[in-house]
Every structure is written in C-alpha cells, then in structure tokens.
Amino acid sequence: MNAPHPVPRSRPAPDALAAVLARLAERFGARASTAGAVREQHASTLTWAANEPPDAVVFPETTEEVAEIVRLCAEHRVPIIPFGTGSSLEGHVNAPFGGVSVDTSRMNAILAVHAEDLDCVVQPGVTRKQLNAHLRDQGLFFPIDPGADASLGGMVATRASGTNAVRYGTMKDNVVALTAVTPDGAIVRTSRRARKSSAGYDLTRLLVGSEGTLGIVTEITLKLHGIPEAISGGVCAFPSVRAACEATILAIQSGIPVARIELLDAAQVRACNAYSKLSLAEAPTLFVEFHGTEAGVREQAERFGEIAEELGGGPFAWATEAEERSRLWQARHDSYWAALSLRPGTKGVATDVCVPISRLADCVEETIADADASGLVAPIVGHVGDGNFHVLPLVDIDDADEVARAKAFVDRLVERALAMEGTCTGEHGVGQKKMRYLEAEHGPAALELMRAIKRAIDPHDIMNPGKVVAPV
C-alpha cells in the first residue's frame, strides 16, 4: 500500500515551455505571471505536502480564454493545473512537472438565478459565501459548506462536502450541469437544466470529483434550497467519543432529519475554546442543528435530547439566536487553524476517512488509541452524520522520527477504514497524497478503468498530471 504508482510524466521541453510562456505574456499581459511569490502561492501551502510551484500563473476571465490557454498548452504538451482558492489539502494544486496554473478567481460572476426552478448558474471562481450572500434576499441558499470559503469550481473538482451533507448531500448531489474545457481545448456542456435525464453518459458526474485531471470547469449549474422557516441547534458534551458516536448513530437510524451533526474530540474542543473564545466543556462534543418548521425542529431537538441523555450526554447548550449559532459554526469551520495552536510551529497532516455509520464509533475510538500509542497530538473533527471524520496530526517536520510515525499513522488509519468497508477519503479527495491507496480500495480492474478514462480524454497527460491516477 505504501509504494506510489509510477508516474511516467516529465517536465516539458525547455523550448516548448518558453514558447508557451512568451505567448501567455503577449496575450494576457499582467494577467500572466512568472513571479516566484505568485507561483509559490499557487502550489500546496496548507499542509506538509511539499510546495511544487508551476512555471507560470495565468488569470482568465472567460470560458473562451480558458480554452485558448488549454489549446496553447496542448499544442506544446505543457501541463495545466486548475486553481481555485488553494484550500485543498492533498496536494491537488501542486505542479510536480511544472506547467501553467490556471487561476479562475477572476471568473467570479453569478450568471443567473432561476428562483422558480431552484437553481443558479455561476462561474467557477464564485465562493460559497459570495453565492449565499447573493441569494439571501431571495430566500434561497446553497447548502454545501466545506470549512474553507472555497471556490465552487474547486468544490466541483474535489466533490466537496461539509457540515450539511447529512441532510443535503455532497457536490455530486447538487450539481445539475457543467461547462468545461477538455484537454484538447474543446468547450463542452455536460447537461441541460432539467433535474433528470436519461440522455447518454453522465458526463456531469464524471467531471465532479475528477480533480482537474479531465478538464477545467468554467460554468456550474447548481441546485438551490429554500432557507428553512426555523433553525434550532446547539452543543452537547458526552462522557466519551464512543457515546457521542453512538448518539449520532441512533439519531440517524431513528430517522431524525438532522441537518448538521459534527463531532469534536476533547483536544479539538480545547483548541476551539482558545482560538474562538468559547467556553465549552473540554469533553467529546456534538454540534447539532435541525432545519424545518418551528414545530418540526422543536420535536427533532427533543427526540435527539432523549437519545443523548440515554448515553450520558448533556446538558444541551442550545443556541437560540442566529448570531450565537453563527459563532458556534464559525468556530467549527475554524477548527483547522484552532488545532494548529495546540502545537505552535508544527505542520498539520490533514487527512480524512469515511466508514459506514454503524462502524463509526469503532473507527474513531481505535484511531484515538492509535494516535496516543504513536505519541501524536492528533485532534479529531467529523461530519459524523455520514460516517466521515478528519484527523490532524500536528507534526514537527524537522523531526524525522515524528514524520515517520505520522506517515505510518495515516497508513493505518486508511487500512482501518478500508477494513470496515469505508473509503480512504470522504471529501478531501485524492490529489497526490492518497494515490497510493486507490488500488487497495477499488481493486486493480477498477483502477485500470479509471486510467483508461484518463488516457482517452487526456492522452498526453497535460491536465493536472501526477494526481488521482497515473495513466500507465
């Protein structure tokens, strides 16, 4: 499991790269940069993945400009690395073979909102917070909320999820159609705005989660939802992580329509208290939220309270005001930065797995015991309503022994999840760092099918090479 797949890609020929850089400078002027600082900002910066910058960064503003860039790079077989906000955690935006980073941040227009159809059309540089601010006055919202204020194009690429996924699903459930530029520079639209279709292969789902390896998304049609009439939520401490997980399992199995249910272990609660100025009990804690009518959320909260009490949880601290709820959820979204404060000067080894919900308590409990036995500080947060949780070992990169222990810990975490019929990543994606686990998860035949798709669409391996699968 530890041996990486071979990647037969090499850097582009110097004359080919020089021709591309000259043409980009001529065509895009100040919107094309080869400055070292800009290039480094467009590679991995958030985790311990090495920073592998591109040779240039270009900032297109239209689908046609993206197609022009891709055709130029395809002609000279220069790699292309799509870039949103850079918040991905598995080395997705690195350029291990150099090439051109295509930053879509200037493609940030909300092109249409069809309130009567509950959908909208946006460019990929629009962020989730920007979209929801635009929708608020129309009584609508987009529910997918990864911790970062990620771009919607990046969220499509990584099949993002978040705290609301237990009720509203992930990006794969909320993308209606895409416009994308393929590796030969063609512009394709994957579907119409109809909510269902039986017309041909599902190209939308093929591109959602492809991590920029099959094309660059330039327009997105998204499902929207009405803002709930009532929202009720709060926090509840538990005597153990197992009790918190079992409360989650019982709530889901009982059919309580929880909108959000998030686990923070004691270490993460301590970090959030310090970073976000909270005063929560330093114990395993669930953040819970219900959406619906006034009567509905009251009933759901009462039923959940009964389950928690049976498992030793409580008392509930309900957030009755919108500002109070926002403060709690912002603390949850800031958990990555909060956790880093537990060991200043270290790097976070962000990783995640997902297991069937019936195995959640076992997996989390065994992972905590493994971290303790490995001598690692590794706080846990989790979208536990769907069996997904995140672990963040805090590692002194200059300590070779500690780095080795952290790598072995992550390997065992994935092995544990796969043994429980789970997955090596619930929402981070594969990028560079999880490529080596795909064969153990999917088997050689399925992995070869993925490679065949990559080879068919991107025969020269120019689109985000060195990520997800190597086309060998």
| Predicted local distance difference test score (pLDDT) of residue 7 | 44
Q: Is 93 helix (H, G, I), strand (E, B) or coil?
A: coil
CB contact at 8 A, 436 and 4: yes
Q: Round to whole Å and give the CA distance between 188 and 270.
A: 48
| Predicted local distance difference test score (pLDDT) of residue 234 | 86
| Predicted local distance difference test score (pLDDT) of residue 148 | 80
| Predicted local distance difference test score (pLDDT) of residue 339 | 95
- pLDDT range class, residue 5, cuts 50, 70, 90: very low
- pLDDT range class, residue 48, cuts 50, 70, 90: confident
Res 265 pLDDT > 70: yes
Q: Round to whole Å and give the CA distance between 102 and 79.
A: 10
Average pLDDT of the residues of the chain: 93
Residue 423 tokens, joined: 């997955």
Task: Give the mean model confidence (pLDDT) for residues 391-417.
Answer: 96
CB contact at 8 A, 157 and 82: yes
Buried b (16+ CB within 10 A) or exposed e, 31-59: bbbeeeebbebbbbebbbbeebbbbbbbb
Res 391 pLDDT > 80: yes
Residue showing tokens 């065509």: 27
Domains observed in the chain: 110-226 (3.30.465.10), 229-433 (3.40.462.10)
| Predicted local distance difference test score (pLDDT) of residue 260 | 93
| Predicted local distance difference test score (pLDDT) of residue 210 | 97
pLDDT in tens, 220-239: 999 999 999 999 888 999 99
Q: Count other C-beta atoms under 10 Å from residue 221's C-beta.
A: 24
Residue showing tokens 């609301």: 164
- pLDDT range class, residue 371, cuts 50, 70, 90: very high
Res 23 pLDDT > 90: yes
Res 44 pLDDT > 80: yes
Q: Count other C-beta atoms under 10 Å from residue 267's C-beta.
A: 20
Res 77 pLDDT > 90: yes
DSSP 280-342: --SS-EEEEEEEE-HHHHHHHHHHHHHHHHHTT---EEEE-SHHHHHHHHHHHHTHHHHHHTT
Give the residue among 378, 336, 292, 319 at the shortest CA–CA distance from 146: 336
Res 3 pLDDT > 70: no
Res 4 pLDDT > 90: no
